[in-house]
Amino acid sequence: MKITIGHLYPDLLNLYGDRGNIQCLMKRCQWRGIEAETIPFELGDQIDFSRLDIVLLGGGSDREQMLVCEKLKEIQADFKAYVEKGGVVIAICGGYQLLGKYYKTDQGTITGLDLVDLYTEQEDGRLISNIVLKSDLFDMPVVGFENHGGRTFIGENKPLGKVLYGSGNDGKTGYEGVVYKNVIGTYLHGPLLPKNPQLADWLIARALEQKYHKPVELSLLDDSQEAEANAYVYHRFVKSGQA
Ligand code: GLN
């Protein structure tokens, strides 16, 4: 078996080490004998979504998002078709905001990909914190770090999780991220996937199922260190409520 990961615009959207997420996906495949390849795309490259099994859209500053947004118009239709067919996407922070209709900032409005029915508006004060979620997709809490000025409104969509510590989508609803078909959008940096191996495996399993049209049960890996770190974060921030 083989998966191909498309990394969209890593030269612009790569805040807080989103490349670590790519390395994590590649390693977790290779450790199981699944071949994995990553194709980085730069602005202006043609993207053949039919060759991709996972698309990663990383975080970026408002300035970088503004630069990327012009190009998104060119790939929107193909990207939308990929998502509607069940293509796997992991979109982080700035990338999460770009999944939606728009991101309104003081400097202007950034038009998004409109792949998921959500939108983002900048408000005073950045939401910067460690963050812990409970998601019904995973047993382990999801842990990470958030730093965003935008508040994201997901309407009737399913959130990735309930915020146990931190701010999440808008600092008010108590929810974080979005799950739509095989797309996950989230504000969690960290990088996200090395800290949350169950989330990484969810993406890999969905990608293999899409590609090979059969249910996939991934072999277990030794995630004891990740579990220990996860439990530490949970106890420090959720149980004891310490910042
Ligand atoms: N520029 C966006 C914001 O501030 C996203 C930042 C990020 O990717 N960390 O809301």
The response to whether residue 188 sits with its C-beta less than 6 Å from ligand 1 reads no
- Identity of residue 202: W
The pLDDT score that the predictor gives to residue 68 is 92
Helical ranges in the chain per DSSP H: 19-30, 62-84, 94-99, 192-195, 197-212, 224-233
Cα 187 to ligand 1 centroid, rounded to whole Å: 8
Per-residue pLDDT of 7-26, as tens digits, reads: 999 999 988 788 899 999 99
**Mean pLDDT computed over every residue of the chain:** 95
Residue of 148, 169, 188 best suited for mutating to test ligand 1, as the one with most atoms within 8 Å of CB: 148
ipTM for this model: 0.93
pLDDT over threshold 80, residue 72: yes
Cα-to-centroid distance, 148 and ligand 1 (Å)? 4
For the Cβ of 121 lying below 6 angstroms from any atom of ligand 1, the answer is no
Cβ neighbours for 157, distance < 8 A, ≥ 6 positions apart: 116, 117, 118, 178, 179, 180
Is 105 a residue whose pLDDT tops 80?
Answer: yes
Q: What are phi and psi of 7, to 5 degrees?
A: -105, 110
- Residue range 89-106: mean pLDDT, rounded: 96
In the numeric block, which tokens belong to residue 115? 């792949």
Nearest to 116 by CA among 105, 106, 137, 102: 102
**Residue 32, marked binder:** no
Q: What φ, ψ does residue 147 adopt, rounded to 5°?
A: -155, 95
d(CA 42, CA 138): 33
State yes or no: pLDDT of 235 exceeds 70.
Answer: yes
List, by residue number, the catalytic residues. 93, 189
Above 90 in pLDDT, residue 70? no
Which pLDDT belongs to residue 14? Answer: 86
Q: Is the peptide bond before 141 cis (omega within 30 degrees of 0)?
A: no
Report which ligand 1 atom has the smallest distance to the Cα of 146: 9
Instruction: Read off the pLDDT of each residue in 67-91 and give the average, rounded to a whole number.
Output: 95
If phi over 0 gives left and psi between -120 and 50 gives alpha, with beta otherwise, what is residue 122?
beta
Give the Å distance between the CA of 61 and the centre of ligand 1: 5
